[in-house]
Chains A and B, each alone.
Chain A
Amino acid sequence: GAGVSQSPRYKVAKRGQDVALRCDPISGHVSLFWYQQALGQGPEFLTYFQNEAQLDKSGLPSDRFFAERPEGSVSTLKIQRTQQEDSAVYLCASSLYTPTRPGTSGVASSYNEQFFGPGTRLTVL
């Protein structure tokens, strides 16, 4: 079946422009995650959705970053007034169930594996 897809794969923006990055999760996946990966670094968490609800946005670096998932499937990460420090690869991941810890109630007591898309490489000039 199809995996997580992201578009565009590459985006070049002039400083100050707004950009929108799209993520199509695996069909039926409840949870969706956005990560930011700077060159030579590991990914860093940005935000998390459970269906259409944004339950954690603690990783968003500034109020210029905004994410939405209005119908609980496709998600868009929007960056307003882009800055050079926004240049990075933006990764999207989805998982079938909502996160739960072993021993707690929930849909699944095992770890809910996150499946990653290919990412969008954003370059801000």
Chain B
Amino acid sequence: KQEVTQIPAALSVPEGENLVLNCSFTDSAIYNLQWFRQDPGKGLTSLLLIQSSQREQTSGRLNASLDKSSGRSTLYIAASQPGDSATYLCAVPNNAGNMLTFGGGTRLMVKP
């Protein structure tokens, strides 16, 4: 059974810092990995999706990398802003592609 772990569970940084969120998964036979953002009381917003054939994806100040062999992905946020404060979740699909297995999330707070 696929297990997804995110470290750290919570992170507080001053505005302007670059930071890295970590995601690890036990079954490396994935065909993509997705990073989501969740604001309090809101649903999930997709940030980046990395196909298994890719090593990284970039969107603005966000960069996500994927290393299937080691079962790891990282989300890099450059020049963090208070508006980046949210919970960040990574998820991988199962073999049938009909469900996502999520990590526990990293709660990020960026202080002005």
Interface of A with B (CB < 8 Å)?
A: 4, 31, 33, 35, 40-45, 48, 55-56, 59, 91, 93, 99-102, 110-119, 121
Contacts and interface: CB of A to CB of B under 8 A. Distances in A.
Chain B interface, DSSP helix/strand/loop, else mixed? strand
A118 B99 contact: no
Contacts of A121: 41
B100 A111 contact: no
17 contacts: A4-B43, A35-B100, A40-B104, A42-B4, A42-B6, A42-B103, A48-B99, A101-B31, A101-B95, A101-B97, A102-B51, A110-B51, A111-B34, A111-B49, A111-B93, A113-B49, A116-B45
Interface string B6-20: 100000000000000
B97 to A, nearest CB: 3
Contact of B98 (A4, A31, A35, A119): A31
Contacts of B36: 116
Contacts of B4: 42
